């Protein structure tokens, strides 16, 4: 299924979700909020930087067919702060 050229069928939106090193295709009702998607996928929005199609997004943003959602952790386990 090509990314960015996904057909919307029967009011269902196909979302490309990247979290950590995993990317998956998720089908949700068209217009579902970003917050609902994150909750259903077990992604903590407060512990991640959330972007939709490359732009920062808040939880009430409705999702559309072909959207790309990424969740990037704000803190990485084992990382140390460098001295300056």
Domain residue spans in the chain? 12-73
Question: Over pLDDT 90: what percentage of the chain?
Answer: 45
User: Could you read off the pLDDT of 71-83 as tens digits, one per residue?
Assistant: 998 877 665 666 6
63 CB neighbour count, 10 Å cutoff = 23
pTM for this entry: 0.75
The CATH architecture assigned to 12-73 reads Roll (3.10)
Specify the pLDDT at position 77: 67
SS (H, E, C) the chain: CCCCCCCCECCEEEEEEEECCEEEEEEEECCCEHHHHHHHCCCCHHHEEEEECCEECCCCCECCCCCEEEEEECCCCCCCCCCC
């Amino acid at each position: 299924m090509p990314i960015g050229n996904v057909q919307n069928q029967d009011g269902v939106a196909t979302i490309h979700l990247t979290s950590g090193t995993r990317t998956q295709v998720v089908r949700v009702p068209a217009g579902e909020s970003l917050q609902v998607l994150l909750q259903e996928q077990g992604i903590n929005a407060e512990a991640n930087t959330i972007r939709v199609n490359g732009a920062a997004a808040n939880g009430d943003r409705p999702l559309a067919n072909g959207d790309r959602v990424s969740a990037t952790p704000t803190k990485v386990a084992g990382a140390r702060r460098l001295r300056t």
